[in-house]
Amino acid sequence: MEKLKLLLAANLVSTVGIGISSYLIIFLLIDQLNQAVIYGYLSIFIMLFIVLITPYIGILVDGYSRKKIFFYLEVTGVIVLIVFMIFYSLDLLFLKILLLSVLIIYLNLYDSIKYPTLAALSQEIFKESEYNKVNSSLEVQGQTALMISSALAALIIGSVSFNLVLIINIITFIISAFLISFIPYQEKENVETAILDRKRQEKPIKEFVLGIKYLSTKPFFLTLVLFVSISPNIAVIVMNYLEPIFIYQFLNKGPEVLGIANILYAVGAILGGILSMWVTKKLSTVKALFLFLFLFSLGSIVIYIYPNVTIFFIASILWGVSNSSSRIFRKDYMFKNIENEYMGRITVTFDSIKLLLQALTIFIITTFFVSQNKVIYGYLTLALLTLVSSLLLLLFTYKSRSNNKG
């Protein structure tokens, strides 16, 4: 499995580099330039932008060599970071804000292209019998990369110059591109690519509508379970925006706190994956979902009541456990209740809903809380989101049972 080792190594190196740079950029924008509100609205723009370009990313990934896309992403990263370093040295506030905003957009676009490419490349170069091993390895590698980048960010950001951090990322891009070039790959020709590309341009909207129509033919309880189960994932994405503001401006702490919190979140996510295998033997999928939704809301409520570093670290573990477990049980529920031929459109439907709700939640928190220096209320908002979701699930579970008995 030499090609798996090369793929994992290339992805690990580039993910660690991107992770460190992401910490740096947010630190510069929020802590150094005091632009938390701009970061909020920028996050909203990015989410809506990704929704709009999703069909074109699909066309790119399906229409070109996946290895070349992966390779050129790393090369482009080197060029972008070098240009950023040159112009950021100019002492102009507006230019610095603009450059950081553009770089944040680029890094999000990089991820949006990279992960579909990585999935398609893995499917293409490995045999079906190897898929489980490859996917498990990539999942472990992803959590490992998060822990490494978080630890390195905690150690170096604020202690060394930002140029050195970016140079480290440039080196990781170069190493990754070098490793990718050695991955054995033979592009599969597809004579129908042009036809498929034209069809895919309409696919997201069409699949979304078909997904809604399909759900309307199913029991309401099924739709409710799928809908409330995405609330932890929505909350986690919003927390990625909230956490640096909370740490830098509310707690007045440095990037090392954010780095440690993310390490603990990754540990929690791994524990959640292990715990879910035990819980599934004891509880039904719906009961397990309720448990982890409630646990997630508990972590958010506690940090609202006792906003300090120690509680934040404990809450990070709870969020990691709860989000990963909820995601696993949600997939399990979908596999048991959604026919395979409809799985793609249901996924598109809920991914679109999730992105829109994330953008709406960040808009509310940015407008009403962050702009008023009340970031702590953002955690209360997320606690209410997941708590209401868990209570709705509990209520309709008992209602569904009562109807069945009647």
Pair 251, 308: CB distance under 8 Å: yes
Structure confidence by residue, pLDDT tens digits, 268-315 = 988 888 888 788 788 888 888 999 999 999 999 999 999 999 999 999
DSSP per position, 263-317: HHHHHHHHHHHHHHHHHHHHS-HHHHHHHHHHHHHHHHHHHHHS-SHHHHHHHHH
Reduced to 3 states (helix: H, G, I; strand: E, B; else coil), residue 126 is coil
Reduced to 3 states (helix: H, G, I; strand: E, B; else coil), residue 192 is coil
Q: What is the mean pLDDT of residues 355-374?
A: 91
Reduced to 3 states (helix: H, G, I; strand: E, B; else coil), residue 253 is coil
* Domain parsing of the chain, residue ranges: 2-196, 202-401
Largest CA distance in the chain: 73
Q: What is the mean pLDDT of residues 192-213?
A: 58
Q: How many angstroms separate the Cα of 180 from the Cα of each of 5, 62, 70, 146, 251?
A: 11, 19, 8, 20, 41
Q: What is the mean pLDDT of residues 344-366?
A: 83
Pair 316, 261: CB distance under 8 Å: yes
Q: What share of the chain is helix, strand, coil (3-state, %, to 5)?
A: 85, 0, 10
User: Which pLDDT belongs to residue 191?
Assistant: 37
Q: Which fold has domain 202-401?
A: Growth Hormone; Chain: A; (1.20.1250)
Q: How many CA atoms lie within 13 A of 49 on its CB side?
A: 12
Residue type at 33 in one-letter notation:
L
CATH numeric code, 2-196: 1.20.1250
Q: Give the Cα separation of 20 and 157 in Å (integer).
A: 8
Q: What is the mean pLDDT of residues 326-342?
A: 77
Q: Give the Cα separation of 33 and 98 in Å (integer).
A: 12
The percent of residues above 70 in pLDDT, for the chain, comes to: 90
Q: What is the mean pLDDT of residues 313-318?
A: 96
User: Which pLDDT belongs to residue 403?
Assistant: 63
The neighbouring-strand residues paired with 157 are 160
Residue type at 205 in one-letter notation:
I
Q: What is the mean pLDDT of residues 69-96?
A: 93
Q: Give the Cα separation of 23 and 32 in Å (integer).
A: 13
Same fold, 2-196 and 202-401: yes
Q: Give the Cα separation of 113 and 118 in Å (integer).
A: 9
142 phi/psi in degrees, rounded to 5: -65, -45
Residue type at 6 in one-letter notation:
L
